[in-house]
Amino acid sequence: MKKILAALLLFLCCTNIAAAAEPKLNYESFSLLPVLHEGRVKPLDSYARIMLREFSGREAVHGHGATEWLAEVLFDPASAAEKPVFEITNPAVREHFGLDKKKTLFSFSELAPGLAAHAAETQGLRGADPEKLTAQQQAALRLYDDVAIYSELLRSFSAVLPLGIDAPAPYGTGKTESAYVDYRSNEDKIQKNAAKLVRKKGADPAKYNDDEKKLAALAFALQEIKTAGANNGTLKIINKDGRFLSPWQSLLQNDDLKTWQNMAVAYRADDAEDWRAAADAARGKTPFKIYLEKAYNVTGPFPAAMGFYLLGIIILAAELYRKSNRMLFPLLCLGFGLALHIAGISSRVIILNRPPVGTLYESLLFVSLICAAAALALYLRRKNLVALFAGQGAAAFLLFLAPFLLQRGESMEMLVAVLNTSFWLGTHVLCITAGYGISILAATFAHAWFILRLKNAPAQQLNLLYDSIYKTTLAALLLTGIGTILGGIWADQSWGRFWGWDPKENGALLIVLWLIWIQHGRIAGRLNRFAFLAAVAFLNVIVALAWFGVNLLGIGLHSYGFITGIALALALFCAGETLLIAILWKLNAEKTRHALA
């Protein structure tokens, strides 16, 4: 780590010459450049957002968006190294590395001394059992990984950036600012002459004349930059043969980096026209998916959909308060929210070329869509206003939770092999997650029934809502039951057994058994109306445990891609829901006793 930091700091010193402090450039073409990252080709805009979220937990720093930030990292690394971008929230980590305790955002230059001093100690933790590492140790290791990635980004285009070194007359390039690539044709000669100089006069620069000092400095800089860049593979761009290689990999295979050098020169000169021309040349013909993903990033369909759902709830509440029957604006809000929601999920399907649900994050996006769509269908069919409240509320809440399930910067992950099966993702997974959505909707209806009864709602409204609850639970049972059976068939094809009492399998079965139990109890008369509705309301807890709770166990064949750190939140949710249901049940029971007294 010390050698890496030293080499990088040398490079930053070499390239720390005048550059535009506040470049006013158009980043549209630059943001559409294709990049290969984690097995998927994506626009540079997505790559920049992922990297910046990984380092800082945000998509903009210092008033600059992710793409503009990445351009500075690539083409003006000396300035980028001074910009605070690493978020360190753990006070113990800040103290361990000798950082300012009052800050949470730090620059590469601020981190370098502390990281170098503790490099051996921290790297020694890599062989330890991750389960036995403290939160401080895990955070320190992640910081080292982030800094390593960032340092490679800083060096990505070191071959085309100005060295800031005067070359002796025989090796002059005729340029005001020469880069490594400009000396590449003479590199062997420069290194051989420098070696002869050392053999003749030794390694003490005091014995050299001015030209010899320049030769030694040039040879050293070229060797250090080449050594540091040779294994740099973080940023993979497309080369002339259509392969994705890092800039240094392309250069070492004798590919031309002239376009990127022009881009670097234009960036540092703040030359908008040359910058646009170079970016257009590097981009070439842009595939439709690149445009689509850039539009997805810019529009942010899911936060926008959540906003429309919340606005619809507010307007609907206002209309009901005024005792108005005008449903146009609430329905328009729901319609716009659904349109954005569907557009977002459809974009992901096209970009990833697979069904919409493959990760926990995507399951929340899909389940929230089911809640909103089912709410609209119930209202249009039965004029159920409670459905509009419940469906939009559940959809907005799930969309709010979704970003917290992203453990890394990437939200469009490539799936592990066992999951990457379009047929089963499009049947079993969609069926079971749709069942989650309908179950949540039924549970929300049950909460609403208890509250409306306490508010002395008309018996006709309560009976209509009860009927909707009954039919919604039947739909939930159908979907989760079929989904569970399909999951068993998939397991048989993948692992050679239909059922293995895996925690995820048990979770799916738990929902089915709970729905069967409450329906059987209602039909057999073992559950009165209050008990039945309380059991339906408790579906929120059952679904939460089956959906997220089993993930905390981290065991079984389904234990891939699971999140951590949700145990407390899940426990609080389950406890809060249980308490709320108990209170609503008790209050309604007391209301009944008072009415009979």
The Cα-based distances of 312 to 47, 61, 73, 305, 364 in angstroms read: 34, 33, 42, 10, 20
| Cβ-proximal residues to 441 (8 Å cutoff; 6+ apart), any chain | 370, 371, 374, 375, 387, 390, 391, 394, 472
Q: Please, how many CA atoms are within 13 Å of residue 401, restricted to the half-sphere of its CB?
A: 22
* Span of 307-311, 370-374, 525-529 with lowest mean pLDDT: 525-529
Total number of residues shown for the chain: 597
Average pLDDT in the chain: 85
**Does residue 251 have a pLDDT over 50?**
yes
- What pairs with residue 179 in β-bridges? 162
What pLDDT is stored for residue 565 in this prediction?
61
Rg, C-alpha atoms of the chain: 30
Mean pLDDT of 263-282: 91
Name which of 404, 455, 498, 390 is nearest 588 in CA terms. 455
Extents of the domains making up the chain:
37-155, 169-282, 293-406+420-596
581 or 24: which leads in pLDDT = 581
What pLDDT is stored for residue 16 in this prediction?
46
Q: Which two tokens stand for residue 112?
A: 């370098």
**Does residue 341 have a pLDDT over 90?**
yes
**Does residue 272 have a pLDDT over 80?**
yes
The Cα-based distances of 369 to 127, 339, 342, 381, 486 in angstroms read: 43, 10, 8, 18, 22
Count CB atoms within 10 A of the CB of residue 531: 14
The Cα-based distances of 318 to 129, 327, 450, 453, 505 in angstroms read: 56, 11, 22, 21, 44
567 or 290: which leads in pLDDT = 290
Dihedral (C-alpha) 60, 63, 68, 73: value to the nearest 10 degrees?
Answer: -80
> Residue 171 has what DSSP assignment?
G
Spatial contact of 274 and 265, defined as CB atoms under 8 Å apart: yes
**Does residue 434 have a pLDDT over 90?**
yes
What pLDDT is stored for residue 530 in this prediction?
92
The model's pTM? 0.84
What is the Cα–Cα distance from 512 to 477, expressed in whole angstroms? 6
Reported in sequence order, the residue ranges of 220-377 that DSSP labels E, i.e. its strands, are 236-238, 244-245
Q: Which two tokens stand for residue 430?
A: 């969609």
| Cβ-proximal residues to 333 (8 Å cutoff; 6+ apart), any chain | 308, 309, 311, 312, 315
List phi, psi (to 5°) of 179.
-115, 175
Mean pLDDT of 297-311: 95
Q: What is the pLDDT of residues 384-399, one digit of tens each?
A: 788 889 999 999 999 9
**Does residue 5 have a pLDDT over 70?**
no
167 or 306: which leads in pLDDT = 306
From the number of C-beta atoms within 10 Å of its C-beta (0-12, 13-18, 19+), residue 133 rates as middle
Mean pLDDT of 402-417: 74
What is the Cα–Cα distance from 514 to 533, expressed in whole angstroms? 13
Q: What is the pLDDT of residues 151-194, one digit of tens each?
A: 999 988 888 888 877 777 777 766 777 888 888 888 888 889 88
Q: What is the pLDDT of residues 77-99, one digit of tens each?
A: 999 999 999 999 888 888 888 88
What is the Cα–Cα distance from 347 to 342, expressed in whole angstroms? 8
Q: What is the pLDDT of residues 421-433, one digit of tens each?
A: 777 777 888 999 9
> Residue 133 has what DSSP assignment?
S
- What pairs with residue 172 in β-bridges? none
**Does residue 435 have a pLDDT over 70?**
yes
Spatial contact of 293 and 46, defined as CB atoms under 8 Å apart: yes
**Does residue 10 have a pLDDT over 80?**
no
What pLDDT is stored for residue 9 in this prediction?
40
Mean pLDDT of 237-247: 82
